[in-house]
Amino acid sequence: MQPDISVKHLSKVYGDGFQALKNINLEIRRGEIFALLGPNGAGKTTLISIICGIVNLSSGEVKAAGYDIVKDYRKARETIGLVPQELNTDSFETVWDAVSFSRGLFGKAPKPSHIQKVLKDLSLWDKRNNRIMSLSGGMKRRVMIAKALSHEPQILFLDEPTAGVDVELRRDMWEMVRKLRESGVTIILTTHYIEEAEEMADRIGVIRQGEIILVEDKTQLMTKLGKKELRLHLAQKLDKVPGELTLEPVELSEDGYELIYTFDSQQEQAGVARLLRTLGDLGIEYRDLQTRESSLEEIFVGLVHE
C-alpha cells in the first residue's frame, strides 16, 4: 500500500546556515500511529512544519497521501490536519466560529453536523459559544485539535499534544487518538512523554541532530533494544560478588543485600537458571526475586546518548 507520508532525501538549512534536517528518509503507513521522538532541537518540529507547508524545504521530496507537497500543495494540504506545539489560538472568536473558520480555510463546504460531532467528541459542545480567551489551557488545546479535525483530514499531526495538560485530559486525548486511528486516520505525534509513545504508537522513529537514527515497530524495538533485570533479595549480606558468578553480568547492590542480573530481552533465558543453580550450589539463600523490563524511556535515553 502507498505510504501516507513519504519523505525522501529531505534536508533543511535555515537562512542563518543552521542545518536542521540532514537527508531524512521516512515512510509513514496509512492508518498507523507513528511517534517521532527526539530531544529538544533535534528537528521534530521542523520536519512536521515542512510536511505541513509552514517551512520551505531546502532539498528532497515530500509526498502526503501521494501528492507532492510543493507541486500539488493544495491536494497534499487538504489531507493534513495539524495541531502545533504552541497554544496559538484566536482570542475573541467563539469556539464554533474558530472551528468553522478552519474548515472553510481548508476548502471544505460548511457542514455544521461535522463541527457538532467534533466539538462533542472533544467535550467542547457546551463551550461552543464561549470566546476562546475565556477557556482554560486544556480547553484551548482541545479547540486546536477541533480546528485540525474540522476538515476531516486523512493525516493528523500532533506536535506535543499533551504538553502541559492534566492527566485526565491526557487520557481523554489518547482515547480520542485511538478512535481516530480506528476510523482510518494516520497519526503522527511528537512527544516528550515517552509513556505516551509507549502507550499509543505502532511504530517509533527517533530523530537526533537532524537525522533519523531509527524507525522500528514499537514492540520489536522494545524487544530488540530493551533490557531485562532480575533482582534477588538475599537472606544474608554479601561483601562481594562470588567468583563463581563473575562470568555473568551480575552486580551487588551497595548495601550488599541485592544481586542484580541484567540481560537482553531477546537472549535465551538459560542465564537465569544457571545463576539460580549456582547460587543454590554456593548455599546463598534469597528471600525474594523481581524481574522488570526496561521502559521505552530508558531505550530512548540510551539511543540519543549513544
Partner 1 sequence: MNLYGIRAIYKFEMARMRRTVMQSVLSPVISTCLYFVVFGSAIGSRMGDIDNIAYGAYIIPGLVMLSLLMQSISNASFGIYMPKFSGTIYEVLSAPVSYVEVVLGYVGAAATKSVILGLIILATAKFFVDYDVLHPFWMFSFLVLTSITFSLFGFIIGIWADGFEKLQIVPMMIVTPLVFLGGTFYSIDMLPDVWQTVSLFNPVVYLISGFRWAFYGVSDVHVGISVGMTLVFLTACMVGIWWIFKTGYRLRS
- In the chain, which ranges are continuous DSSP H helix? 44-52, 73-78, 95-105, 112-121, 137-149, 167-182, 194-200, 218-225, 270-282, 296-304
Cα–Cα distance for residue pair 203/221, rounded to 1 Å: 9
The answer to whether 150 and 115 have CB atoms below 8 angstroms apart is yes
Cα–Cα distance for residue pair 102/255, rounded to 1 Å: 61
- What x-and-dash track marks residues 167-206 binding partner 1 by CB under 8 A? ----------------------------------------
Out of 64, 80, 180, 245, the only residue in the binding site for partner 1 (CB under 8 A) is 80
Determine the length of the chain: 306
- Reference 128, options 152, 80, 95, 165; nearest CA is 95
Placement of cell 528532497 in the chain: 60
What's the min distance (Å) between Cβ of 77 and partner 1? 4
- What x-and-dash track marks residues 25-54 binding partner 1 by CB under 8 A? ---------------------------xxx
Establish if 107 lies at the interface with partner 1 (CB under 8 A).
yes
Establish if 101 lies at the interface with partner 1 (CB under 8 A).
yes
Establish if 75 lies at the interface with partner 1 (CB under 8 A).
yes
Establish if 129 lies at the interface with partner 1 (CB under 8 A).
no
Establish if 97 lies at the interface with partner 1 (CB under 8 A).
yes
Out of 90, 199, 216, 217, the only residue in the binding site for partner 1 (CB under 8 A) is 90
Between CA 156 and CA 164, with CA 161 as vertex, the angle to 5 degrees is 170
- Reference 120, options 149, 163, 161; nearest CA is 149
Establish if 86 lies at the interface with partner 1 (CB under 8 A).
yes
Establish if 133 lies at the interface with partner 1 (CB under 8 A).
no
What's the min distance (Å) between Cβ of 203 and partner 1? 24
Cα–Cα distance for residue pair 197/204, rounded to 1 Å: 8
Out of 10, 65, 78, 250, the only residue in the binding site for partner 1 (CB under 8 A) is 78
Nearer to partner 1, 104 or 112 (CB): 104
Nearer to partner 1, 61 or 93 (CB): 93
Residue 15 has which C-alpha cell?
537562512
- The SS3 of residue 17 is coil
What's the min distance (Å) between Cβ of 165 and partner 1? 18
Nearer to partner 1, 76 or 197 (CB): 76
Residue 14 has which C-alpha cell?
535555515
Q: List residues near partner 1 by CB under 8 A.
A: 14-15, 52-56, 73-78, 80, 82, 84, 86, 88-93, 97, 100-110, 147
